[in-house]
A = this chain, B = another copy of it.
């Protein structure tokens, strides 16, 4: 993670800069580039999008997006997976999904990269909760545990394979245990 302290750059100015790879986030006036994702991170991100979308996309309930820039509450962040309820997905004049998402996801999922500090992703999850998101997950694929951040409620820590992962109401038919989640890492 690279922090470039840039003075006097507003959110509007930041949003005009070219996108970087990995994506950069604008948090409290600072530009912070995300870590370069590795195998475990990419695997989990891909499986999440597939699993969530196969459960809730056909009925037009919700949709999961990997690496989607979400700008709201004075920050511009890029959750690893952002899930939006169907009626909150912005569309353009042609009825296509818009390019710019100036709103919070309903469910935000962050996946730790190897040896990454949990502070940045946790901060971003709390920013989401403070602006309307109903649930955040922080997944550690090295340590096989998940912090669950429900809106207005106490944080939960899950580390047993049989623990059932709480999901937002809008994807209530998604049933997933911690063991099933980390089985995604197996080839």
Contact = CB atoms under 8 A, between A and B. Distances in A.
A154 B140 contact: no
A155 to B, nearest CB: 5
A153 B130 CA distance: 12
A119 B123 CA distance: 15
How many copies the complex holds: the figure is 2
A181 interface: no
Interface of A: 28, 117-119, 122-123, 126, 129, 140, 143, 145, 147, 149-157, 159
Contacts of A118: 117-119, 122
Contacts of A119: 118, 140, 143, 145
A102 to B, nearest CB: 23
